[in-house]
Structure formats: C-alpha cells, structure tokens
Structure 1
Amino acid sequence: MEKQIFYAIGLMSGTSLDGLDICYVKFVKQESNWNFEILSCDTMPYTSYWEQSLKNAIHFSSEELLKLNIDYGFYLGEKTQEFISKNKVTNLDLIASHGHTVFHQPQKKFTLQIGDGRAIRSKTDRTIIYDFRSQDVVFGGNGAPLVPIGDELLFSKFDACLNLGGFSNISLKRDGKRIAFDVCPVNIILNDLASKLGKRFDDNGNLARTGKIDEALLDHLDQLEFYSQIAPKSLGIEWVNENITSLIQNQKTEDLLATFTEHSAIQISKTLNEFEIKNVLITGGGAYNSFLIEKIKAKTRTEIHISEKEIIEYKEALIFAFMGVLRLQNISNVLSSATGSIKDHSSGLIC
C-alpha cells in the first residue's frame, strides 16, 4: 500500500546569505491533493567565515571549490544533526538539500550548488536528496525556478506566488500550465548596499526612505535587456556582476537604496499587471520590507497577501523538502513549463 504520510527536512541557502534555513515538515497525501504542516523550523546564521567563503566561492580555484563543496556538506550535516537533536526529531524519511549556488549558467549547460550530499549523510545517517537543478539544465531548462511545483500542489488557492529573496521570482497558471520566472534582483542588491552602512539589511526599507531616487540610473536599470525577454528566464550572481555592480559604485548609498527599491517595485508590479494577477502570495525576506511592499501596492491593483512568518521565511526550504518527497517516489518535481526543459521530470541525487 502506498505510503500517505511523509516526514522530511528541507535545507535552503539563498543568494542573500541570510543563513541556513532548516524546515521539518509533515506531508499528507489525500488522493491527488497534498497537505502540509510545518513541525519546526530554524535559521542558522552564517559565521563571518562561512558568509565570506560562500560569497567569494565564485572566485575560488578548482581545488579550493572542491574542498569547499565537501566542507560545506559536512557543515550542512552538522547543523542539520544539531536541529534534529534540538527538536527531538524521530520520524524522518529524508533530508532534501538545495545547497548553495556558486555558478548558474544554464545557457552553457551548467549550474553548481555546493554541499556534497554524501558529506551530509556522513553526519546524519539519513537518506539525502540533493543537486536538484543540474538535471534540468542538462535537459535544456534554466534549472530555475523549481519552487513552482510546490506552488502548484501546496499553494494553488492563490493566483500567483511571488518570492522576494536575493532575486524575486513568480509562478502563476496560464492556459492550464504553471509558468515561472525570475523577475529582478532584490535583496542581493539591497542587502549588499545596507552592509555599506553597517546593516545586514534595510529594515522596513527605512534607509531607502531617506534616499533620493536617481532618475537616470533608474531609467538605465529599467531598460536592461533581461526585462524584455520572455519567460522562462532566470538570473544569477554573474548577471548582477555584469549588468548592475558597476552602475552602483559611487553614489550616496541611501540614494542607491531608494533607486533600487523603486526599480524592484516597478519590475514586480509590471509583471503583476501584465499577467492581470488578481491575488498574490508574497514570501521571502523582502516581504518584511514595508517600503518595497508599499511601492508595489501603489503600482498595481493586485490583492497582496503577506503570509504568516513561517511561510515567509521557510517557504523555499519547505518546498525543497516536498521536492525530496516527490523524488523519493519518482514523481515529477520539476515543471518544464516553468524552467523551459524538454519535459517534466523527477530531479535530485539520492544518497
């Protein structure tokens, strides 16, 4: 008889380097429907060593990167085992790890999320599922976004789901298929700018509120070629370094925060308006940026729903746990309509 109840832990490390998100979830399958309950969750802040190592990994030599891949796998395993012990987790079918993205160049057929699953297993002695993106890239897809499978099966009551993380991405239903794509950078820029003022992030957008929008820079940002491309499409740190980093060097930091917050709001609201989204669920750290949310609301008629704290902060870790459950059953967990790959498929290496 097919098992109907699954317990899984999802691990997520985003480009904004907030820390390691760990989410322990119970999933229940009832006929074709899935329900979930978050049993416990936590964020393990990165030490300065890990924050700098992950941030600079894109510049590492091959040997340094190979070592970091293993070391980070051991780190993930140790932190997950701490979480298991702290929360007295007994029922657990699998641990699903997104890893941390270092390279993402699907046009060249490669993407790299470090954190070797075998190292995680060595510290936890559990079934590990990892490397969820590579297969999709091999199949001609963007390897992103992957969370639409969770939006489709766990959050279908909303017209669209919008994540405001390092990058903003959206998933929505069109002509019976769920499409998804990256919209624009958000916290990967805002957090970096805030750090220049001694802050980890722009709390409530209060720093941006004091700045003045640079209209010339805003116009330049809005005209970037990516925004005129059709979906599916995805962004990575390489794109940011190539297209944005050199533009935001010398101006007053508060003005840059104001300008980029406006830019993000313009691109997000433009997407909501273009697809005539009636209601949207917003998650990710950017959901706490009240200045950004105010600007989005002012530019669209879409009904904005800010989820409860656990979903805001752990939705991606939750969905990777869910993807692990689907992978364990060899059920498709990546939607070709979202990534552009040749077919829906069940992705992830099982260790």
Structure 2
Amino acid sequence: MSTKTQLTAIGLMSGTSLDGIDVALLRTDGVTVEHLGPTYFEPYSRGQTMRLKMLLDMAAEQGRDLVGSPVVHAVEQDLTRAHARAVEALLHQDGLAAADIDLVGFHGQTILHRPAERWTWQIGDGGLLAQELGIAVVNDFRTADVAAGGQGAPLVPLYHQALLGSAGLADDDWPVAILNIGGVSNVTWLGRDGSVIAFDCGPGNALINDWLNRHTGEALDRDGAMAASGRVDDAVVREMMRHAFFDRPYPKSLDRNDFPVDMVDGMSLEDGAATLTAVTVAAIAAGRDVLPEAPGRWLVCGGGRHNPVIMAGLQRVLQVPVDPVETMGLRGDFLEAEAFAFLAVRSIKAMPLSTPTTTGVPTPLTGGRLFSRN
C-alpha cells in the first residue's frame, strides 16, 4: 500500500433503503479531508432490490443458518460486480484510470445486524472487487467492532467530526447534530469541546418505502406526497414508540427489520404513509431528548431530507434550525459513501474507526480487511 500521506480513495455505500450504490471520491490522510472529488449514483434495478429484500427477509427468519447459502453467494457476486461497474462509471465519467486511485472502501449490503449476539453481516466480496477493478479494497468495516462488544454502527461519526469539527458554525449552533435519515435514522452529536456521541434513533425511510412498495410498487414516497395527504394515527405512533429499543441507553443500533411495517395494516395508503412518517420524526425527537445537551442546530443528510413532510415535522418538534447539510457546502446524498473512503484510509493506517461514545466499543478500535489489487 502507498506510503503517501494523502490518499485518493473511492467510497461505496449501499444503504438500508436498497435504492442503489453511492460512489464518492476524496483525498484524505484519515484525519482531515483535503478534497471532495466526483460522485456517481447507480440505481438498483427493481429485480436487484427485490433480491436484496428477499435476502433480508430470509436472514431475519434463518439467521446464521443462511450463511454459505448458494442463494446468498449468487446475490453477493451480482452485488459486487454491480459495485465494480459503478466505480468504473465514475472513473469513465471523470476521465480517471484505476492507477489514479489508491484505495476503495466497500461497505457492502447489510443483510442482518445483531450486535447483541456479537454478529453483523454485510455481503460483498472484497477480493472479487479488487480483482475486477485492479484497485486495493478495504471492506468488512463492522465485524471487529461488534466482536469486541460494540454496536458496529453508526460508523460515520468520525467523518462527520472531520468535516464539521472546525467548520464555520455560529456559537448558537453548538452542540451541533448531524442527522442521517436513510433506511434507519442515526445521529452524530458534536460538542464544542470535540466530544462525539452517536447512535441509531429509530426507523428512517425503510418502513415508509416498504409501505409504498407494497401498495403501489413505488420505491419511496416521493416528495412526501402520500404522507401529506394522509392522517396520522397518533395511537399507532404511541404504540410504536413503546418499542423496547427506545428504552435502551445509547450507543445503540438497529437492524432494518427491527420495526414491523404491519403496525399500519388496514390503513389507507395515505394514512399509513403519514403515520410511518410521524414515527420517523418521533424517533428522532426521542433521540434528542436523551442527549447531554439539546443541539442548537440539526444538519440533515440521507434520502429523508428530500421528504418535506419529514423535514417540516422535525422543524416543528426540534424547534431549532433543521437544515440540509448542503447549507454547509456538504453533499447529503454522498456523505456515507465519502465516509467509507475516509474510513478505508484510516483502516490501512490502523487508526480507530469507532470509539466508546460512537458504538460502545470498549476502547477506540480500528477495523476492516484489506484486499490487494493483485
């Protein structure tokens, strides 16, 4: 591996929303970010999304018994090659060659997340990806953390700190929260003194997406249109907020399927969307309430920031500025992909990827597996 201080790395993220592959390039030494480079998004076909959702459902039912299954292997190979094509598309888009890239950070697709059992499962063949691209690859970012007793998630907070720790925020903004609303929502709390706290808040877009997909075949509630025309069932929201997850202290994390979408069965399409959207907002508000100090400002990334019903609900309950991260010059659709480029560099330099206050791991811990380009 290169001994250069600053490395050019590509990060890849396929999140719990199951919408596609985010690709982002940056230059970093693993502490600061020198340059944010080009990005690319490769949407999953409906067939790819359905196969991944099938694996999630199978894993929820079969757990470790599914490991080694020919079905998993076939989907993993397809997923890995799709990631290779996405990287190649970014390189072609910007006139770059594989030799220009030092490293790829490959998150893979989370199939099951059970930190209480010291197990988390992301599919994605790092060796195959390195072979396909001719670029060194780091993957398997979460296993070491979970094996040591951590939650294995969220892993993005140290990247958030690198981006915003010295940013030009106003005094009233501190402490600041970076909220990611993907399939699951999670928050990073940054104190003025450099302290970092992070945890999953609860459902993000996953339940809403599943509800829309089940009833309309659409992948998401575009522009929050269904939720905006529906009525929230407050009793169902209260019932979902009684879930045991909310009684657990942070750091804590969720599996995508820990919350059942069938809580809104029997509702109209619109009322179900409105109710599930209200759950997402309520879960984030509950997260705010357990922080050591309420943030003075929330910066939102992930697909949920495109949903005006979610954003208006957050503004209403949080009662401080709630802005997309673009207001700070950041890229809300690619922050997690960027983070895995950053974490890949930290991994090969044996720097921590997680800390006791971000995942609950006993001591700051590195992680990841390196696959050479040969």
Q: Confirm or deny a common fold (TM above 0.5).
A: yes
Q: What amino acid maps onto 1:189 in structure 2?
A: L
Q: What amino acid maps onto 2:130 in structure 1?
A: R
- Taking a change above 3 Å as real, the CA distance of residues 2 and 126 of structure 1, as seen in their structure-2 partners, is closer
State which of 139, 144, 168 in structure 1 corresponds to 2:185. 168
TM norm structure 1: 0.92
- For 1:13 and 1:35, locate their aligned partners in 2 and report how far apart those are by CA, in whole Å: 22
What is residue 20 of structure 1 aligned with on the other side? Answer: 21
* 216-225 or 152-161, larger mean C-alpha shift: 152-161
Q: Tell me if the contact between 1:101 and 1:112 (Cα under 8 Å) persists in the aligned partners.
A: yes
* 142-151 or 75-84, larger mean C-alpha shift: 75-84
SS at match of 1:41: strand
Q: CA deviation at 1:117?
A: 0.3
What is residue 252 of structure 2 aligned with on the other side? Answer: 233
Q: Tell me if the contact between 1:103 and 1:236 (Cα under 8 Å) persists in the aligned partners.
A: yes
Q: What amino acid maps onto 2:198 in structure 1?
A: A
State which of 14, 21, 44 in structure 2 corresponds to 1:46. 44
Cα RMSD of the aligned pairs, angstroms, is: 2.0
Q: What amino acid maps onto 1:69 in structure 2?
A: E
Which whole-Å deviations, capped at 9, do the CAs of 1:82-102 have from their partners, x for residues lacking one?
Answer: 322332224211010110000
- For 1:49 and 1:194, locate their aligned partners in 2 and report how far apart those are by CA, in whole Å: 17
Q: Tell me if the contact between 1:57 and 1:65 (Cα under 8 Å) persists in the aligned partners.
A: yes
Q: What amino acid maps onto 1:227 in structure 2?
A: F
What is residue 94 of structure 1 aligned with on the other side? Answer: 103
Matched, 1:336 2:345: no
Q: Tell me if the contact between 1:287 and 1:293 (Cα under 8 Å) persists in the aligned partners.
A: yes
Q: What amino acid maps onto 2:269 in structure 1?
A: T
TM norm structure 2: 0.87
Q: Tell me if the contact between 2:188 and 2:196 (Cα under 8 Å) persists in the aligned partners.
A: yes
For residues 265-304 of structure 1, the aligned pairs below 5 Å read 265-275=281-291, 276-304=294-322
What is residue 85 of structure 2 aligned with on the other side? Answer: 78
Q: What amino acid maps onto 2:11 in structure 1?
A: G
Q: What amino acid maps onto 1:128 in structure 2?
A: V
What is residue 261 of structure 2 aligned with on the other side? Answer: 245
What is residue 138 of structure 1 aligned with on the other side? Answer: 147
- For 2:267 and 2:141, locate their aligned partners in 1 and report how far apart those are by CA, in whole Å: 39
For residues 315-326 of structure 1, the aligned pairs below 5 Å read 315-326=335-346
Give structure 2 stretches of 5+ with no counterpart. 60-65, 170-175
Matched, 1:147 2:156: yes
Q: Tell me if the contact between 2:11 and 2:23 (Cα under 8 Å) persists in the aligned partners.
A: yes
SS at match of 2:363: coil
What is residue 209 of structure 1 aligned with on the other side? Answer: 228
State which of 266, 273, 279 in structure 2 corresponds to 1:257. 273
SS at match of 2:32: strand
- For 2:162 and 2:95, locate their aligned partners in 1 and report how far apart those are by CA, in whole Å: 28
- Taking a change above 3 Å as real, the CA distance of residues 345 and 168 of structure 1, as seen in their structure-2 partners, is same
Q: Tell me if the contact between 2:355 and 2:362 (Cα under 8 Å) persists in the aligned partners.
A: no
- For 1:272 and 1:223, locate their aligned partners in 2 and report how far apart those are by CA, in whole Å: 16
State which of 33, 36, 43 in structure 2 corresponds to 1:35. 33
- For 1:252 and 1:57, locate their aligned partners in 2 and report how far apart those are by CA, in whole Å: 28
What is residue 56 of structure 1 aligned with on the other side? Answer: 54
- For 1:53 and 1:116, locate their aligned partners in 2 and report how far apart those are by CA, in whole Å: 17
Q: Tell me if the contact between 2:301 and 2:332 (Cα under 8 Å) persists in the aligned partners.
A: yes
SS at match of 1:261: helix
> Which consecutive segments of 4 or more residues in structure 1 shift more than 6 A?
none
Which whole-Å deviations, capped at 9, do the CAs of 1:281-321 have from their partners, x for residues lacking one?
Answer: 11000011111111111112222221229611000000110
Give structure 1 stretches of 5+ with no counterpart. none
Q: Tell me if the contact between 1:73 and 1:118 (Cα under 8 Å) persists in the aligned partners.
A: no
